[in-house]
Structure 1
Amino acid sequence: MSEDATFEDGREAPLRLKALDGEDLSVIASLVQDAVFPAAEMRWDSKARRFAILLNRFRWEDAANAEARKRPFERVQSVLAFEDVMRVQSQGVDRSDPDLVFSLLSIAYARGEDGTGSVELTLAGDGVIALEVEALEVVLRDVTRPYAAPSGKAPSHPA
């Protein structure tokens, strides 16, 4: 029986990052690229003005180390939370099947006037989730220990 990897094995701590501008968000976006999540794990709390996703994030920060040591690539469950969200819209996102799994390809931010802006999450299969934000505040937080990626491979994108 194989055991899942632990942060202690890699002398790493779970990620906990905050983005308050587009540059910060690009770091988080690179770390959540190719994350997968079921439709049931998206939450929009309009009263708290928070949109959050519990996703299974590929550990890009560990990929080179895993390859060099010839050990399995890893994923980790993480919460990706957007604060100060005034409105959420989606296109090509069918939430009627809670088991439908989405793959996050990219996150882009467009700054508006007076600190407002829009965040666009692009999903595989032409899905898009658009968030209108009063101010950019995004938190990425790992909430489980890493586990061996079920596919055994790193995600790849045809050129």
Structure 2
Amino acid sequence: MADARFEDGDEQPLRLRAEAAEDLPVVSALVQDAVFTGADMGFSRKGRRFDILLNRFRWEDRAAATRDNRPFERVRSVLSVMDVVSVASQGVGKDDRDSVLSLLALEFHPGADGTGVLTLVLAGDGALRLTVECVNLTLTDVTRPYRAPSGKAPQHPEG
């Protein structure tokens, strides 16, 4: 059996699950440069679930779009984190529902017995810190891909 390749997913929507810290780098790479607003996220304390509706850049399609000389794409995706005990934020106003936030990475800092803190690192020194009982999240595309409004792939300074 061969490993899956990005090309295998071509036009299929992503539906990924992370159940261990080792799974997070793949999800983190796929949500890098996703944008959302404060109105796009919510925490259900009773349901112990944190959800964000993201406008995700389709990193898995970047090479093919470049090769085929076609527009880069974004897709609306839901990042759902389950078994969340609490949520804290830095640099994100609780009442600011309109500012556009950019997700840079997911980082997990383990605690005792599988617990830990999942940090959603945001551009501009912002962060969302989710205290979790375990790593348990999904990333699900919920729309068809659409042309990236900028027409460009996100760029990051070297170094």
TM-score normalized with structure 2 length: 0.92
Show structure 2 runs of 5+ residues with no match.
1-8
Letter in 1 for 2:59: W
1:25–1:138: 8 Å Cα contact kept in structure 2? Answer: no
Show structure 1 runs of 5+ residues with no match.
1-9
Residues in 2 aligned to 1:37 and 1:104: alpha-carbon distance in whole angstroms = 8
Give the match for residue 18 of structure 1.
17
Give the match for residue 153 of structure 2.
154
Question: Structure 1 residue 134: deviation in Å?
Answer: 0.5
Residues in 2 aligned to 1:111 and 1:155: alpha-carbon distance in whole angstroms = 30
Give the match for residue 105 of structure 2.
106
> Which secondary structure state, in structure 1, belongs to the residue aligned with residue 24 of structure 2?
helix
Q: 1:11 to 1:157 in 2, by over 3 A?
A: closer
2:10–2:61: 8 Å Cα contact kept in structure 1? Answer: no
Matched pairs, number: 150
Question: Structure 1 residue 22: deviation in Å?
Answer: 1.2
Q: 1:131 to 1:69 in 2, by over 3 A?
A: same
Moved more, 98-107 or 141-150: 98-107
User: Hey, which of these two has a bigger chunk of helix by percent?
Assistant: 2
Question: Structure 1 residue 96: deviation in Å?
Answer: 2.3
Residues in 1 aligned to 2:69 and 2:92: alpha-carbon distance in whole angstroms = 37
Residues in 1 aligned to 2:32 and 2:132: alpha-carbon distance in whole angstroms = 21
Residues in 1 aligned to 2:15 and 2:140: alpha-carbon distance in whole angstroms = 4
1:74–1:148: 8 Å Cα contact kept in structure 2? Answer: yes
Residues in 2 aligned to 1:11 and 1:157: alpha-carbon distance in whole angstroms = 25
1:78–1:142: 8 Å Cα contact kept in structure 2? Answer: yes
Question: Structure 1 residue 70: deviation in Å?
Answer: 0.6
Question: Structure 1 residue 50: deviation in Å?
Answer: 0.2
RMSD of Structure 2 on Structure 1 (CA): 1.0
Give the match for residue 128 of structure 1.
127
Question: Structure 1 residue 95: deviation in Å?
Answer: 3.5
Q: Residue by residue, what CA displacement relative to the aligned partner does 1:71-121 show, whole Å, maximum 9, x if unpaired? A: 000000000000000010001012423221100011101111111111001
> Which secondary structure state, in structure 2, belongs to the residue aligned with residue 125 of structure 1?
helix
Aligned structure 1 segments of 4 or more residues deviating by more than 6 angstroms: none
Question: Structure 1 residue 38: deviation in Å?
Answer: 1.1
Residues in 1 aligned to 2:31 and 2:17: alpha-carbon distance in whole angstroms = 13
TM-score normalized with structure 1 length: 0.92
State percent identity of aligned pairs.
Answer: 59
